[in-house]
Amino acid sequence: MTNSLLRGSFRTQYLLGFAACAALLSYAFYAQLHDGLEPCPLCIFQRVAFLALGIVFLIGGLHAPKGNGGRRTYGVLALLASLAGIAIAGNHVRLTHLPPDQVPACGPGLDYMLEAMPITGVIRKVMTGSGECAIVDWTFLGLSMPAWSLAWFVLLAIWAAYAAFRRR
């Protein structure tokens, strides 16, 4: 089964990547709406990165280009979305491991920042982090949600690169 997935078509591999992103986003919304875990600004940015990656996977899977150039284009786009997610999740993991005296103070909510600041200012402020981003209120197998997001971004980047750049 695993070998057939690894040797599968570009279409199959990219649609599986889309399914993984959809499942991860679905769980994030379930954890928010059912379990009451409110996402911090960095969590929301990670969701946007998963959404962007999922869209690249979906479009690439539906298009299923025959030539290497088309597959590589989708591979580069997927890697860019993955790298953005890795940077965001990596920063979030870093914040969760800071000593309490080094955690930045809680800032205004994302809604307020989007209304009051230009988008570049919002991105800069969110990426510096805030106190609520350092709180770990969910773990699975000893890893926080940002750590799992980081792991998934790395895995999906490898998956996208393998599907797009392997010899056929």
For 34-88, how does the pLDDT look when each residue is reduced to its tens digit (9 = 90+)?
Answer: 988 888 888 888 999 999 999 999 999 999 888 888 899 999 999 999 999 999 9
- pLDDT score recorded for residue 6: 59
pLDDT for residue 4 is more than 90: no
If one compares 63 and 2, the residue with the highest pLDDT of the two is 63
Report the number of secondary-structure helices (H) and strands (E) in the chain.
7, 2
The secondary structure of 104-153 as a DSSP string is PPP---HHHHHHHS-HHHHHHHHHH--GGGG----EETTEEHHHHHHHHH
Q: State the chain's mean pLDDT as an integer.
A: 85
CA 33-35-36 angle, 5° bins: 65
Encoded tokens for 8: 């599968």
Per-residue confidence (pLDDT) for residue 108, from 0 to 100: 60
Q: For residue 44, give Cα distances in angstroms to 63, 74, 134, 162.
A: 28, 24, 14, 28
Q: Where are the domains of the chain?
A: 2-165
The pTM of this model reads 0.81
How much is the pLDDT for 120? 79
Mean pLDDT (whole number) for 8-25: 94
CATH class of 2-165: mainly alpha
pLDDT at 79: 97
